Amino acid sequence: MLMLSLSTSGPIASAAVIKDGQVLSREVGGHGRTHSETIMPLCEKALQTAGYTPADMDAFGVDAGPGSFTGVRIGICAANAMAAAFGKPVAAASSLEGLLYGIDNACALLDCRNGNGYAMAKYEGFSPEPMAVVIDDLLSTLPCGILMAGDGAVMHRERILNALPNARFAEGNDITADKIGLAAYDNLIRGETAAEALPLYLRPSQAERLAKERNK
């Protein structure tokens, strides 16, 4: 089973080719350029490195967010377009699923300013679901010794350690297409596919929030 995976929800764009749950290639870029400029060349390079073409893919995987509203839409549109062009399904995974792939007793945390974040925790007795959180409230619920991942873990390290002195911190906190692809591949195997992927928005965009304020 072959899958081309895309991730554009964070600061970097990336593409990866997954075969039977193994990463064959990964290409990362986007520093200083927009994701709309870089994602298709990255896909082409990842496919070329792995020795395949888009027509060879059995499915397309994509990062559904949360993350940059514009970035998420770019990846979703690209994956949906390729899936439609080649008549293949799309399997989505959240950016938080990607950060937590293959690890337990962990919490992925993405910063979204003003003490807020997006989070997904995975530990015994807790069902992992992406959620919008107030970071201090989240930390008050997490078990001691949990592994923290994501840019929020980096940015709020001191705050985390004040609340959870035994917390551990993951290495490699970027959201990348190989992590997304492995999570999306598992979703694909479970039958969680669609003809078209949809973005995962846990909070209104800044434009929506400003419009709401103006209309009060």
**Ordered per-residue pLDDT tens for the chain, 216 residues:** 999 999 999 999 999 999 999 999 999 996 657 999 999 999 999 999 999 999 999 999 999 999 999 999 999 999 999 999 999 999 999 999 999 999 999 999 999 999 999 999 999 877 788 999 999 999 999 999 999 999 999 999 999 999 999 999 999 899 999 999 999 999 999 998 887 898 998 866 444 443 444 555
Q: Are residues 13 and 88 in the same domain?
A: yes
Q: Are residues 161 and 65 in the same domain?
A: no
Q: Are residues 75 and 16 in the same domain?
A: yes
pLDDT in tens, 60-74: 999 999 999 999 999
- Residue 215 is predicted with a pLDDT of 55
Into how many domains does the chain fold?
Answer: 2
Q: Are residues 65 and 21 in the same domain?
A: yes
Q: Which of 169, 184, 201 is the last residue of a domain?
A: 169
Q: Are residues 36 and 62 in the same domain?
A: yes
Q: Are residues 78 and 181 in the same domain?
A: yes
Q: Are residues 65 and 34 in the same domain?
A: yes
Q: Spell out the SS3 assignment of the chain.
A: CEEEEEECCCCCEEEEEEECCEEEEEEEECCCCCHHHHHHHHHHHHHHHHCCCHHHCCEEEEECCCCCHHHHHHHHHHHHHHHHHHCCCEEEECHHHHHHCCCCCEEEEEECCCCEEEEEEEECCECCCCEEEEHHHHHCCCCCCCEEECHHHHHCHHHHHHHCCCCEECCCCCCCHHHHHHHHHHHHHCCCCECCCCCCCCCCCHHHHHHHHHCC
- Residue 204 is predicted with a pLDDT of 61
The pairing of strands 22-29 and 13-19 is antiparallel
Domain that holds residue 37: 2-95+175-214
- Residue 165 is predicted with a pLDDT of 97
- Residue 81 is predicted with a pLDDT of 97
Q: What is the CATH number for 12?
A: 3.30.420.40
Q: Which residue has the tokens 């999306």?
A: 184
Q: Are residues 10 and 115 in the same domain?
A: no
Contact present, 56 and 2 (Cβ < 8 Å): yes
Mean per-residue pLDDT of the chain: 91
Q: Are residues 13 and 51 in the same domain?
A: yes
- Residue 30 is predicted with a pLDDT of 65
Q: Which amino acid is residue 198, in one-letter code?
A: L
